[in-house]
Structure formats: structure tokens, C-alpha cells
Structure 1
């Protein structure tokens, strides 16, 4: 079995390391200068273009509220009252007001009535 000799520890001083790093960084920057200018022009062109926001979608309600039929009825009657008030308590709209209130309350509850 032959063992490979261990490499001698590297001696470096802080000033040499900093000088090497600075020289390497300067060389990299100089070689990338034309590419950076082109990418800057592209970025400016993109920022000048009008931005359209992606449409936000609402997350569906996952939790349902459980209420008794009596509680649901009271909620609907109160909502129907306020809807009718907006329409001047027109008696010809009473059924429409009630149905609108049912739709609103059922949407709020998420279909969570118990029977």
C-alpha cells in the first residue's frame, strides 16, 4: 500500500489574498462590461413596457359555519329587512328581498346549515 504524500500547508498572508481577489474581481468585471451594458439596456426596455398585473383569485372558503335552521331563518329575516329598507319597503319586492337575503346568508355560511 502506498500512501500519497500530504500536500504542504499553503502559506498566505492577508494582503496577498486581498490583492489576488481584487485583481481577479477586476478582471472579471472588465470581461463582463459589454454584457452588463446590454443587460442594462434590456432591463430598461422591460421597465418601460406597461406592466399588467396577474388577476388575483380569491381562495375558496374552506370552513363552514354551522347554524341551526332557526338561526339561519333569523339571519335571513334581518338581512331581508335591510334589503327592503334600501328599496323603500316596496311590498311588491318582498319575495325578491327575501330571496336575495337567502342567497347572501347562504354564501356567508358556506352551506353550513344543520337539519
Structure 2
């Protein structure tokens, strides 16, 4: 369900990206990515009994990611020479693909290599 809703958010974001033409692209890109990260964090912090909230935040994150990614790709294509675009985009793809494993390593306790669990209680976040 969550991935289906994220896909719907991505499709909606793609449709919105074709309709919207931001004048200040850098501000638009940074704002979209920052808000997407915030929505992603809210997905993880949603209480277990509120799946609908997590699903809504997950969909919003997908929508906002595409709203930032589309003008970023267009901007890179306009400022990079054609001979370097393949290298630049493969480096960008590699860096984005490394974000997941690096993030998982940062969440591990370095001495005993086990994840630090977080739990949500009525009083707030408990480490």
C-alpha cells in the first residue's frame, strides 16, 4: 500500500512538474528536497496506530522529490557540456544509490554493529 501511494505521489508530482515552471530554480529545488526530507521523517515518526498519516507523508515525500528532481535534471542538462553529461549523471546516480547504505551504517552502533532501535511511546520518542 505504501509503495503504491508513493508511486501515485510520484506520478502526480510528474504531472505537476510539467505544469509548473519555477522562475527561481535553485530555491525551488532546495525547497522541494528539504520538504521531501521533512515528509519522509514524519513518515518514520508517525505512530503505529496512524498508518494513514505515514502513508500520506510517504506520498507527499514522493511528490516533492519529483518536483525537485525534475528541474534539477533540466538545470544540470543546461549547464553541463554534452560531452560530460554521461559522467555527471552516472556520478549523481551513484551518489544517490549510496545514500541508503551509508544512512544504514550511520544508524548502527559502531562498536557492536547492531541497530539502535527507536520506539514511539505516548510520551514521545524513546531511544
Q: TM-score range with shorter-chain normalisation?
A: under 0.3
TM superposition score normalised by structure 1 = 0.25
What is the TM-score with the length of structure 2 in the denominator?
A: 0.23
Higher helix share: 2
